[in-house]
């Protein structure tokens, strides 16, 4: 079978990824409430001090209880090997973890392979926020930036998928993205494909279903990131 040159824009993607700039969210908890001003007898002052200490001790405990996940799970172990083989034929199931500035807050694994003339690329990312509210806001912002998609029922606390087609040097590439939020964790799956023989891209349904399949496995893997 004759070999065909790859388009320049996609040749770069076939090379191992060296660096992924990651901006982690700072995990913060609210300051403890200041002790109430003391008035009256020494006994009242002592009681007020005890109440203040109790409030200070309770604040971090409440913040900790509200945060379901304290660390991102290992992304390269998040998908079953059978799933990887079906989505990225020819790829090493071990994957390649992308360097991160803070692996507690964000971790990403990537798989890619050229199987004959068919090229597939899959990224799975876990991002841990300080609270459910923070992740919900981040999720809503990202969904607003990606038009033309739709909700994915029954996945996490909310999920959205979108598929787009791009063409460069007459070569089509179709990419699907799934965003899923679970408590204070955000899962991001990117799945793309091209056919270098006919220069066409896989069908929208194939890419969308593949991205959602990977996202379901990734959400299930969040059990390893519980605090």
pLDDT in tens, 113-146: 999 999 999 999 999 999 999 999 999 999 999 9
Close Cβ partners of 51 (under 8 Å, ≥ 6 residues apart): 35, 36
Close Cβ partners of 227 (under 8 Å, ≥ 6 residues apart): 64, 67, 68, 69, 70, 71
Angle at 125 (CA atoms; ends 74, 176), nearest 5 degrees: 140
pLDDT in tens, 77-119: 999 999 999 999 999 999 999 999 999 999 999 999 999 999 9
Three-state SS at 185: strand
The C-alpha atoms of residue 213 and residue 63 are separated, in whole angstroms, by 33
CA-wise closest residue to 85 among 210, 223, 221: 210
Per-residue pLDDT band at 179 (split at 50, 70, 90): very high
pLDDT in tens, 13-68: 544 433 333 333 333 334 444 444 444 444 444 444 444 444 444 444 444 445 89
């Amino acid at each position: 079978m004759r070999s065909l040159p790859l388009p320049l824009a996609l040749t770069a993607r076939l090379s191992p990824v060296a660096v992924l700039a990651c901006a982690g969210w700072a995990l913060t908890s609210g300051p403890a409430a200041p002790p109430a001003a003391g008035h009256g007898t020494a006994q009242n002052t002592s009681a007020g001090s005890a109440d203040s200490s109790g409030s200070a001790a309770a604040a971090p405990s409440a913040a900790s209880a509200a945060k379901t996940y304290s660390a991102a799970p290992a992304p390269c172990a998040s998908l079953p090997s059978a799933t990887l083989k079906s989505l990225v034929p020819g790829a090493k199931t071990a994957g390649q973890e992308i360097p991160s500035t803070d692996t507690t807050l964000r971790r990403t694994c990537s798989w890619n392979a050229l199987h004959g003339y068919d090229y597939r690329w899959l990224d799975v990312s876990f991002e841990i926020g300080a609270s459910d509210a923070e992740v919900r806001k981040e999720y809503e912002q990202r969904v607003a930036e990606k038009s033309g998609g739709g909700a994915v029922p029954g996945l996490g606390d909310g999920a959205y998928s979108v598929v787009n087609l791009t063409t460069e040097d007459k070569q089509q590439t179709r990419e699907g993205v799934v965003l899923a939020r679970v408590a204070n964790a955000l899962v991001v799956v990117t799945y793309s494909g091209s056919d270098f023989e006919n220069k066409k891209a896989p069908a929208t349904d194939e890419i969308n279903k593949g991205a959602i399949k990977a996202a379901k496995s990734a959400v299930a893997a969040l059990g390893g990131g519980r605090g």
